[in-house]
């Protein structure tokens, strides 16, 4: 399984670059030392093998700790520093971890531990196929993040499938996503199993266009794992082209609708680029379908999200879970090896189900199948993708409602003609005799939810009603 392959590569102790961040590179030889030191530290400190929180922002110790945890038979939970403390506390409460690396064990301490020169080798891999490899927390409709438990078998199947599609060996892969999002799982592990360099774009760089372009040039990267939103952002600048990244040959997309305009711009800037669209939720371990797009897509055609990997089945079903015929739209149900072990704790959900004797996940996505290829249409609920991030609008609502001066709130997403979210707006009614500005509300909200989830705030005195006496959401948005 992949941990055997990873350990074998690490034990070669090659001087090839394994990880580059902030213009500093670490070799596979160094990575092996880091992993060995952390592995032995964890085995000593966490005898019960309880879950480990790994907190930070893409630092080298994070990736080294992920590998060490897995080899030592411990589940890890990645948490990015951009997540506000209140939300981190909600996660810690649910996980009850043994240790938080980067928090209880400070960054300085973990660096000291992992840099010890006289280290012992690793001779045992403790993780079993059905053990939980990692838990990734995602936006929950209750206002509290929910943890998706992904097994070693799930991840093993995903990475082997991806490696077969992309066929990489000792190349350079760009990372865009924070490690607390499952998009990063693809570049984290593809880089390891192919002995490639994992080239990190961190949050600071992300905030500055010049820095991003400088880093992309320096990377000499061959492969990018990205959301369409990120690539659209880069495409705004004409210099995102073959001259900037002469060796770029593949972009693996996942996470949201890929647009025709993105594809045609990419073809005009990078001839021969391989564009792979992939689809899947965190609950099904990164992705379950993929499609190599090798031509311009006609205006009246939908963009395929792809053909399922061999060990999963995709069904399109109606409300009674009956199969719907080909080319008709219904809910996408995924069964098979990629379906995760469920949510952490006692979260009420009807999404993980048994179907035809197999483990299944009801995605809440609407789509259809034509000639064996899956097409995505839209969501059937209030979950959205904004700038590539998965957000439950009710998660935002619940957190605004918690502010003690709010009477009522409705959170809505403004979409353009491509059905892409352009902004999120929270319409709020304040309690009587309260005077608060929109800025003050935003300030309070930022303590509860991450920046990327924070909507524009609009204070209103009442909600307009439609004929049925319900809030007229369309009118609210029009008036905004």
- Contacts to ligand AMP by CB under 6 A: 138, 182, 254-258, 277, 279, 281-282, 305, 363, 365, 376, 379, 385, 390
Q: What is the DSSP pairing of strand 250-253 with strand 274-279?
A: parallel
Q: Shortest Cβ distance from residue 277 to ligand AMP (Å)?
A: 5
Contact 172, 196 (CB under 8 A): yes
Q: Shortest Cβ distance from residue 306 to ligand AMP (Å)?
A: 8
What whole-number distance in Å separates Cα of residue 338 and Cα of residue 418? 29
Q: Shortest Cβ distance from residue 384 to ligand AMP (Å)?
A: 9
Q: What six digits make up the tokens of 195?
A: 């002995």
Q: Shortest Cβ distance from residue 112 to ligand AMP (Å)?
A: 35
Q: Shortest Cβ distance from residue 376 to ligand AMP (Å)?
A: 4
Q: Which is nearer to ligand AMP, 195 or 277 (CB)?
A: 277
Count CB atoms within 10 A of the CB of residue 334: 27
Q: Shortest Cβ distance from residue 136 to ligand AMP (Å)?
A: 8
Q: Which is nearer to ligand AMP, 151 or 219 (CB)?
A: 151
Count CB atoms within 10 A of the CB of residue 466: 11
Q: What six digits make up the tokens of 145?
A: 């993040």
Q: Which is nearer to ligand AMP, 194 or 285 (CB)?
A: 285
Q: Shortest Cβ distance from residue 208 to ligand AMP (Å)?
A: 25
Contact 202, 57 (CB under 8 A): yes
Q: Which is nearer to ligand AMP, 40 or 420 (CB)?
A: 420
Contact 227, 388 (CB under 8 A): yes
Contact 199, 174 (CB under 8 A): yes
Residues contacting 274, CB < 8 A, separation 6+: 249, 250, 251, 292, 294
Q: Which is nearer to ligand AMP, 46 or 363 (CB)?
A: 363
Q: How would you label 303-315 residue by residue, b for 16+ Cβ within 10 Å and e otherwise?
A: bbbbbbbeebebb
Q: Which helix (H) or strand (E) holds 188?
A: helix 183-193
Q: Which is nearer to ligand AMP, 38 or 158 (CB)?
A: 158
Count of CA atoms in the C-beta half-sphere (13 A) of 167? 3
Q: Shortest Cβ distance from residue 379 to ligand AMP (Å)?
A: 6
Q: What are the CA-CA distances from residue 318 to residues 279, 325, 360, 367 (Å)?
A: 20, 10, 15, 11
Q: Which is nearer to ligand AMP, 47 or 417 (CB)?
A: 417
Q: Which is nearer to ligand AMP, 191 or 229 (CB)?
A: 229
Q: What six digits make up the tokens of 389?
A: 């991030």
Of 275, 217, 211, whose CA–CA distance to 241 is shortest? 217
């Amino acid at each position: 399984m992949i941990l055997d392959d990873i350990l074998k590569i690490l034990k070669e102790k090659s001087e090839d670059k394994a990880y580059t961040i902030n213009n500093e590179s670490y070799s596979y030889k160094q990575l092996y030392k880091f992993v060995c030191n952390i592995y032995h530290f964890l085995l000593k400190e966490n005898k019960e093998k309880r879950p480990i929180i790994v907190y930070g922002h893409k630092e080298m110790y994070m990736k080294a700790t992920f590998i060490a945890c897995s080899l030592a038979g411990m589940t890890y939970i990645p948490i990015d520093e951009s997540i506000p403390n209140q939300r981190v506390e909600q996660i810690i409460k649910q996980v009850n971890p043994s240790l938080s690396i980067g928090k209880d064990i400070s960054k300085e301490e973990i660096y000291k531990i992992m840099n010890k020169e006289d280290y012992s080798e690793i001779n045992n891999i403790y993780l079993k196929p059905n053990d939980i490899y990692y838990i990734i927390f995602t936006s929950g409709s209750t206002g509290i993040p929910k943890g998706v438990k992904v097994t070693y078998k799930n991840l093993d199947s995903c990475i082997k499938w991806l490696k077969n599609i992309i066929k990489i060996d000792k190349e350079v892969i760009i990372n865009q996503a924070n490690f607390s999002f499952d998009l990063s799982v693809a570049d984290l592990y593809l880089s390891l199993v192919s002995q490639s360099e994992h080239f990190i774009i961190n949050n600071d760089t992300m905030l500055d266009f010049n820095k991003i372009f400088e880093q992309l040039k320096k990377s000499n990267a061959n492969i990018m794992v990205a959301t369409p939103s990120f690539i659209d952002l880069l495409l705004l600048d004409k210099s995102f082209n073959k001259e900037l990244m002469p060796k770029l040959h593949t972009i693996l997309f996942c996470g949201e609708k890929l647009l025709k305009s993105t594809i045609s711009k990419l073809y005009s800037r990078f001839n021969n680029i391989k564009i792979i669209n992939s689809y899947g939720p965190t609950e099904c371990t990164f992705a379950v379908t993929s499609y190599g797009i090798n031509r311009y897509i006609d205006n009246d055609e939908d963009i395929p999200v792809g053909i399922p990997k061999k060990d999963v089945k995709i069904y399109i079903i109606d409300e009674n879970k009956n199969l719907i015929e080909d080319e008709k739209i219904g809910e996408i149900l995924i069964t098979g090896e990629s379906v995760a072990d469920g949510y952490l704790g006692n979260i009420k959900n009807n999404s993980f189900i048994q179907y035809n004797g197999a483990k299944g996940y009801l995605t809440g996505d609407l789509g259809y199948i034509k000639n064996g290829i899956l097409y995505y249409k839209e969501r059937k609920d209030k979950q959205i993708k904004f700038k590539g991030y998965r957000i439950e609008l009710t998660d935002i609502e619940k957190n605004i409602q918690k502010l003690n001066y709010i009477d009522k709130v409705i959170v809505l997403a403004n979409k353009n003609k491509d059905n892409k979210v352009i902004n999120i707006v929270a319409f709020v009614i304040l309690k009587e005799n309260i005077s608060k500005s929109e800025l003050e509300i935003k300030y309070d909200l930022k303590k509860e939810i991450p920046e990327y989830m924070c909507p524009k705030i609009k204070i209103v005195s009442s909600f307009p009603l439609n004929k049925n006496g319900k809030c007229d959401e369309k009118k609210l948005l029009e008036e905004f």
